Amino acid sequence: MTTTTDHGLAGHSPRLSQGLPVTTPNRKKFNWSFAVRTLLLLLAAALTLGPVLWTLSTSLRSPSESFKLPPSFIPWNPDFTSYGEVFKQLNIFLLVLNSALVTGIIAVGQMVSAALAGYAFAHLKFRGRGALFSIVLATMMVPVQVTIVPVFMLIRGMGLSDTLLALILPAIPTAFGTFLMRQYFMGLPAELAEAASIDGASPWRTFRSVYAPLAMPGMAIVGILAFNFHWNEFFRPLILTISEQNFTLPLGLVSLQGNLGTGSISVVLAGVVLSMIPALVVFIFGQRALQDGLTAGTGK
């Protein structure tokens, strides 16, 4: 009697040939956590980019199509007439120049003042340091609408009413920038100051030669945030300036609405798109510095 053996099955399955049970691989489970995170990120991206895309879309419609119902998100026939109207109705170059001058000086001023104050609160020993720092932090809770009247009185007393300096000087001190730079300097080794003092360096030279170069990423964050905030600022220029030659870009955009708000929405949004370009350029070129500043000291 002969015994028949299934050599093909045994050759392909060593576990069968050895008499061991055969197990099938488990199916990969659906990752609900990853799906929820992805959905939330997509929702956040839609909420962030949606208004920007709608602004760009509406600015490319003709004034008559901007009120058409039902509205269309995609401008199938782009019309750049609204951008031409912006240049006709506004002295756009003067407005951009004023805004660039004001925001640029404020950004540099905040970088310097925040670095100096932050270093003092972090590494200099003086009486009342903690109480003074608490007062500085408390000013972050005070809205600008509360301080605008005393600021206006001071500006008028200095003879700076209706000037660009009236917009620049009150904005240079920054509580948030001071807090940010203080925390940044706290993350730097205190031994650097001790070594510099042993070498005979004064506190000013220690700051200028040792700590300031190391704090450049943090100062870049202060500058970028200050530029983006004051580029779009509307309230203080509205109160502190009167003549059109000192208007900043946000004030100029208001005139596109007309006296009774009857201006074309496509023209208004075309002006908004133009106003976004400089801030976007600053963010793109400063993105690396912003990332370096945010990740400095985290080990990433």
Q: How far apart are CA 194 and CA 213, in angstroms?
A: 17
Task: Give per-residue pLDDT as tens, 228-269.
Answer: 999 999 999 999 999 889 999 999 888 887 665 566 788 888
Which domains can be identified in the chain, with CATH numbers?
Answer: 86-297 (1.10.3720.10)
* pLDDT tens-digit readout, 150-162: 999 999 999 998 9
pLDDT in tens, 32-76: 888 889 999 999 988 988 888 888 888 888 777 766 767 677 777
Q: State the average pLDDT over residues 15-28.
A: 57
Mean pLDDT of 128-142: 91
Burial of 228 (0-12, 13-18, 19+ CB in 10 A): middle
Query: pTM for the whole thing?
Result: 0.79
- Cβ partners under 8 Å of residue 1, min gap 6: none
Residue 128 has pLDDT above 50, yes or no: yes
Q: Which residues of 210-224 are buried (b: 16+ CB within 10 A; e: fewer)?
A: bbbeebebbbbbbbb
98 band by pLDDT with thresholds 50, 70 and 90: very high
